[in-house]
Structure 1
Amino acid sequence: MMMGLIEPFLEFSFLRRALAGGIALALSAPPLGVFLVQRRLSLIGDALGHAILPGVALGAALFGLSLAAMSGGGLLAGLVVMLAAGLAARGGALREDASLAGFYLVSLALGVAIVSWGPAQLDLLELLFGSVLAVDDAALLLMAGTATVTLVSLAMIWRPLVIETFDAGFLRAQGGRGALWHLWFLALVVLNLVAAFQALGTLMAVGLMMLPAVAARFVSPTLSGQVVASVGIAVLAVLGGLIVSVRADVPTGPAIVLCAGALWLALLLAGPEASVLARSLRRPHLAR
C-alpha cells in the first residue's frame, strides 16, 4: 500500500515539483489563516482569492500563459482591491469586510469576462481550480520564494501583529501603527494566494489557507500551537490531495481542499481540544 502511494512521486517529476511547492505553501499560508480566524476575518481570504482572478486573466490575455505576467497581474489586482476596500471602509459607512464583498464580486465577474474575451487557450477551469501540470520550475520557485518572504515577514511582525489581533486599542494607545501591520499582513495573504493559484486555482487557493487554520483550533488552544498544527494539517492535505488528484483524475485544487476538509471534519468530531468528543467527555465544572 505504501509503495502504491509513493510510486507516482517516484515516477513523475511534475508530481515531485507539485509536492515541493505544496509543502512550501503549507508552511506559509496556514499561519496567515490562523490570524485571519483569530481576527474574525475568515471570509476576507476568500474575497481576496476571487479578487486576483481579473489580474491573472488579463496578464494571460495580454502576454500569453506566462507565469510572471499572470502572477504580477494577480498580485496587482489583489493589492488594488485590498486598498480600495480599506479606503471605502474608512471613507464610508460600510465595514471593511462588506466593502471587500462588493469589490470581490465585481472582480470575479470581470475576471470571467476577460477569460471569455481572451485567447482560446486560456482555460477558465484551470484558472479557477488549478492543475498539477501547471507547477513547473518557475511556479515552484515562486512558491518557495513566497514561503520565504512570508515566514521572514511573520518573524519580523509577529509581536505587533499578535497585539493588534487581540487588543488593537492598546496598540493604538502605544503608537504602534496598527494600520501598517494590518496592511502588511493582508499583502502577505494576497501574495500567498497568487503563489497558490497555479496548482490550486484562484477559487481553491484559499482552501489551503483557511481549512487547516480552522482545523487547528481543535488541536491546540494557544496561538503558537495552532500555527504549528495548521502547518502539519496542510502538509497532510497536500500529500493526500496530490495522490487523489492522480488516482481519481480530478483537479488538484479541489482534491487538496477536500482532503483538508476531511481532516477538519475528523478533528471537529474527535480532536483533542474543543471537539464534539472532547466536549462530551469533559466533566461539568465542579462536578464530582
Structure 2
Amino acid sequence: MISELYSLFIEPFSDFSFMQRALWGCIVLSISATPIGVFLTLRKMSLTGDAMAHAILPGAAIGFLVAGVSITAMTIGGIVAGCLVAILAGVVARHSNAEEDSSLAAFYLLSLATGVLIISAKGSNMDLLHVLFGSVLALNNDALILLTSIATISLLALAVLYRPLVFECVDPAFFRSVSKLSSVAHYGFLLLVVLNLVAGFHALGTLMAVGLMILPAAIARFWSEKLGAMLIIAFATSVISSYFGLFLSFHASFATSPAIVLVMGSIYIMSLLFGRHGGLLSNN
C-alpha cells in the first residue's frame, strides 16, 4: 500500500528531473506572485492584473520574433510592453475623460491582438500555444534562474513597500494626502506586477499566469481577514494546487497550466461555499 502511494504521488517528482524543475518553478512563482495577488485583491485591482498579463504579450512576441525562444529577449520585451501599457493607461486616464480601467482595457486588448498577430504571422501554432499557455514542464536552468531572481527582487521590494501598500489598501485617498510615497508605492507595485507576470508567462503562459496570482489570493480572503494569514494561505494554496496540477498532468496527460489553474478553481469553489468569511454556506 505504501509503495503504491509512493509510486503514485512521490515517484514522478523523485524520478523525473523535468517534474522537479516544474515544481520548483511553481514554488518560486508562488513565493513572489501570491503576495502581489493578495495586495491586488485588497486594492480591488484583480482585473488590472488580468489586463497586465495580456499586455506583456506583444513585447514577448517581438522578443520571439527577433531571437526565437530566447528567455532574455522575451523577458525584456514583456517587461517593456507591460510597463508601457501601465504608463499609457495612467496618462490617458489623467489627461482625458476616460477612466483608468477602460483605458487599461483598451490598451490590453490592442496588445493582446498585436501579440497574437505577430506570433501567428511569423511562427507556428505550437509557438502560439507555447506563448499563450506556457511550458512549465520544459523549464530549463536559465528559466529557473530568472524565476528565482524575480522572486528575490519582488520579496525585497515588497519588504520596502509593505507599509505604504498596507496604507493604500486601508485608505488610499488619505495616504495620498499625507505622504509623497503614494505614487512611488503605486508605480513600484505595478512594476512588481509586471515582473511577476513576465515570470509567470515563462511557466504558465500569458493566459494562465494571472491565475497563480489572483486565485490563491481570492481563496485566502474566504478563510481569514488578517493580512499575514492571507499571505500564508495564498502561498500554501498555490503550492498545493501546483503539485496536484502537475500530478494530474503527469498521470492523466492533461495540459499542465490549465490543470494547475483548474485545481485552484476547485479550491476556490469550495472556499466560496464553505469559507469562514463570506462563504455561501457558512454560519458566519
- In the TM superposition, residue 121 of structure 1 has moved relative to its aligned partner by 8.0
Q: Is the 8 A contact 1:129 1:201 kept in 2?
A: yes
Amino acid at match of 1:157: L
Q: Which runs of 5+ in 2 are unaligned?
A: none
TM-score under structure 2 normalisation?
A: 0.95
* TM score, norm. by length of structure 1: 0.93
Residues 1:158 and 2:137 are matched in the alignment: no
Identity of aligned residues (%): 48
1:274 corresponds to which residue?
278
Q: Distance in 2 between matches of 1:71 and 1:122?
A: 19
Aligned amino acid, residue 190 of structure 1: V
2:239 maps to 1:235: yes
- The match for 1:26 among 30, 38, 49 is 30
Equivalent residues in 2 for 1:83-122, closer than 5 Å: 83-120=87-124
Aligned length: 280
CA deviations over 1:70-128 (Å, ceiling 9, x no partner):
11111111111111111111111122111110000000000011002214486111110
Matched-pair contact (CA < 8 Å) for 1:89–1:96 = yes
1:13 aligned residue: 17
Contact 2:21 2:137 in 1 (8 A): no
Cross-structure match for 1:167:
171
The answer as to 2:68 corresponding to 1:64 is: yes
Contact 1:241 1:259 in 2 (8 A): yes
- Work out whether residues 38 and 230 of structure 2, in 8 Å CA contact, stay in contact via their aligned partners in 1: yes
Tell me the equivalent position of 1:128.
132
- Give the drift of 1:250: 2.4
Superposition deviation, residue 130 in structure 1: 1.1
Cα separation, 2, equivalents of 1:187 and 1:251: 29
Corresponding residue of 1:190: 194
Root mean square deviation, CA, Å: 1.4
In the alignment, is residue 137 of structure 1 matched against residue 141 of structure 2?
yes
Structure 1 spans left out of the alignment, 5+ residues: 283-288
State the Cα distance separating 1:60 from its structure 2 match.
0.8
- CA separation of 1:121 and 1:69: change in aligned 2, threshold 3 A: farther
Give the corresponding residue for 1:253: 257
Aligned pairs for 1:73-84 within 5 A: 73-84=77-88
